Structure 1
Amino acid sequence: MTTQVMEDATSSVIQDIDYGRTIERALVHRSAITEVFVTDVQTLRPMAVTAGIHLPLTHLYYSDHRSRPKLHDSLIFLEAGRQVSIAGSHIHVGIPIDTIAIVNTFQFSMKNLYALEVGRETGTPRIDTDFFGTPARNGRFRKGRLVQRIYMGDVHVGDHSMDVLFLKKHENEILRQAQRGTPAPMSSEFTEDVVSRTTERVAPELVGRDNPLNVVLTEPEVIGDSVVAQVVPRFDNPALFDHAYDHLPAMTLVEAARQVAVYSAGTAGRAPGEAPLPVYASGFDAEFYRFAELDVPLTVSADRVPAGPERHVIRVRFLQDSEEIAALTVTVDDASRIPQLQPRNHHA
């Protein structure tokens, strides 16, 4: 009986989610309204929320993909999950709004990819989130973990978990000073006209893009069994740099990992000049060890691990000053097979 009551209460909360507008941008630490994807956050139970998600049909960054059929970008769900975790922690857990959350690790995977096809009426998107953590005696959370389930209507399409460290502003400044030893420059100080004179980025189509603004890699080089490139994002890309940073944010590293994985999987076994295979990045497993500095060259390398003809697993490492600062494992799927994975009238 208790279980049925809880299920009924949860169903009622989900039905009450407001999709009419996005929430206040300060609650998700974004500057531009166009970069806010959370429409509503509702309490499910103590330390658990559900949230409505807005998936724009056209977006400078998230809609810019060459693979067909056209699917909702996996990273918009990752970004939406990040935003839900921030807003939920402020509104329903009590984390102060000026708290800085440092991501240590995250695991993210998409499933039932057929339900992500743009134009398919699967249902409204939402993310359910459980927060885990024990406050200190003063009530402050020093670290925490969250677990999320992502839905399109009733179809379970993804899972995300993340471990974070919570810092006050002055604590973050101490940490940055300890790592660098000198004040860090801001991303707003790097102008594209200076960068473009010394950098030639990869052709967009080789990393699954159309718009050069979204390319974050220099020309990749095949060295043995690895693909190696430099990470040089466009600092005027409003999706990756919604506001000024003193480091490369985690989502920029995730995009670099995706692009080197797409390049590695899409061009493997292809003749020079031959169009890369269409692939879809469906999973990320990430560890971050240090901040990615803006003023030090950042190298990314990818090693492909065979996982079958329709799925590849790419191991990605980021190096600065010969030190590994982050490592990701990226899973990519053959995009051409996704619509055939389930019938169009399937309900999960």
Structure 2
Amino acid sequence: MDTFRYARPTDQSPQSIVNGSPALSGYGSLTSTVPKELVHRAAVAEVLLTGWERHADTRFAITAQWPRGHSFFTPVNGNYDPLMATETIRQVGSLLAHAEFAVPVGHQFLMHDLEVAVHPQYLGLEAVPASLDIEVTYTEVKQRRQGHAGARYEAIVRRDGHVVATGGAAYTCVSPDVYQRVRGSRLSDGRPPIRLTAPVSPQSVGRMSPTDVVLSPLGEADRWQLRVDTRHPILFDHPVDHIPGMVLMEAARQATVAILNRSSLNKSPLLPTRLVSRFQRYAELDSPCFLEAHRLPAGPGEDLVLVSGQQGGEPLFSATVTACCLPV
């Protein structure tokens, strides 16, 4: 399945070499994750993608697997966490940029926007992990003399032939030298992250453990400080010089749950069904980030919340989250 372009002494692909070895030849096709470096993860356990192939210049097929249990993307009332679909679509962009558009490992990525919509009826946990087929189409590809500079792509995620999620993202990638110039003193100052702040009640944001809470109270009903725990093994899977976008998306989810739980008499579990995010600039580790949430008009049976973040008085990101109540 893999077509990762890597110089080898033969013309065999990595997958064919593994599956064609004498010790494994009797087992047929075997499944493994893609290299963790290609999806910007340090832990193999956090890699969700298992293979890929190119169907055309801008069309690809990717396979993935969602584990039945995850230490952070925990099930929501017997359903897969929709943010696992978000992380899957994020990993798609990194994988294809490196494996099919020849972006060297070590280049930096800036995510401009990321969105996902899920179909709850196909999110249910079953007796085995969910095997996924992902159809990816690139609608924009930016090239410079130095190579691939960024892209926009769309993904359709199928489970047993049913569309379980759709989404897409846009990113820019830059070389280490360019990133050094862009980030400047942020990379050389060595300033420590801000002090870890206290979490809000885990139950108020749909979490079980305080270590997974990314909001700190400010004494206001719809406003919080972002809680940045750089020791978190999933949200901060490896050392970074800024707050990852997935932390901001988790903050948007938690803020949505907090405001909807507070304003509704219905305490059924809330499942985000659509999340649309826009990132204006890097979120720095050494300065407090503040978030606020507001309910917006929504369709029947749905709630819609706008979450916005700012840092140093400047807009940082925004996210609109659609959610529905699950039956208890």
Matched, 1:97 2:95: no
**Which residue number in structure 1 is paired with residue 81 of structure 2?**
73
Q: Can you list the C-alpha shifts for 1:183-229, whole angstroms capped at 9, x where unaligned?
A: 4547xx559xx62xxx3211111111112221011126445xxx100
Structure 1 residues not aligned, in runs of 5+ = 1-17, 338-348
Structure with greater proportional helix content:
1
Matched, 1:215 2:222: no
C-alpha change, 1:204 and 1:27, in structure 2 (3 Å) is same
Give the SS at the match of 1:301.
strand
Matched, 1:107 2:115: yes
Question: Which letter does structure 2 place at the counterpart of 1:80?
Answer: T
Name the CA distance, whole Å, in 1 between partners of 2:290 and 2:57.
43
Name the CA distance, whole Å, in 1 between partners of 2:125 and 2:113.
30
Name the CA distance, whole Å, in 2 between partners of 1:36 and 1:257.
23
Name the CA distance, whole Å, in 2 between partners of 1:81 and 1:35.
13
Structure with greater proportional strand content:
2
**Which residue number in structure 1 is paired with residue 251 of structure 2?**
256
Matched, 1:163 2:158: no
Residue 48 of structure 1, CA deviation = 1.8
Would you say the 8 A contact 1:282–1:331 is kept in 2?
yes
**Which residue number in structure 1 is paired with residue 24 of structure 2?**
none
**Which residue number in structure 1 is paired with residue 22 of structure 2?**
none
1:228-247, aligned counterparts within 5 Å?
A: 228-247=223-242
Matched, 1:86 2:94: yes
Residue 170 of structure 1, CA deviation = 1.6
2:272 pairs with one of 278, 281, 285: 281
Residue 120 of structure 1, CA deviation = 7.1
Would you say the 8 A contact 1:122–1:153 is kept in 2?
no
**Which residue number in structure 1 is paired with residue 202 of structure 2?**
204
Q: Can you list the C-alpha shifts for 1:9-52, whole angstroms capped at 9, x where unaligned?
A: xxxxxxxxx77221111111111111111111122222221111
**Which residue number in structure 2 is paired with residue 340 of structure 1?**
none
* Count of residues paired in the alignment: 299
Q: TM-score, normalised by structure 1?
A: 0.79
Name the CA distance, whole Å, in 1 between partners of 2:84 and 2:107.
23
What percent identity do the matched residue pairs reach? 24
**Which residue number in structure 1 is paired with residue 326 of structure 2?**
335
Name the CA distance, whole Å, in 2 between partners of 1:32 and 1:278.
30
**Which residue number in structure 2 is paired with residue 7 of structure 1?**
none
**Which residue number in structure 1 is paired with residue 315 of structure 2?**
324
Question: Which letter does structure 2 place at the counterpart of 1:325?
Answer: L
Name the CA distance, whole Å, in 1 between partners of 2:130 and 2:268.
30
Name the CA distance, whole Å, in 2 between partners of 1:34 and 1:221.
38
Residue 307 of structure 1, CA deviation = 1.3
Name the CA distance, whole Å, in 2 between partners of 1:329 and 1:153.
29
Question: Which letter does structure 1 place at the counterpart of 2:228?
Answer: P
Structure 2 residues not aligned, in runs of 5+ = 1-28
Matched, 1:142 2:137: no
Would you say the 8 A contact 1:267–1:277 is kept in 2?
no
Residue 182 of structure 1, CA deviation = 7.7
Matched, 1:301 2:292: yes
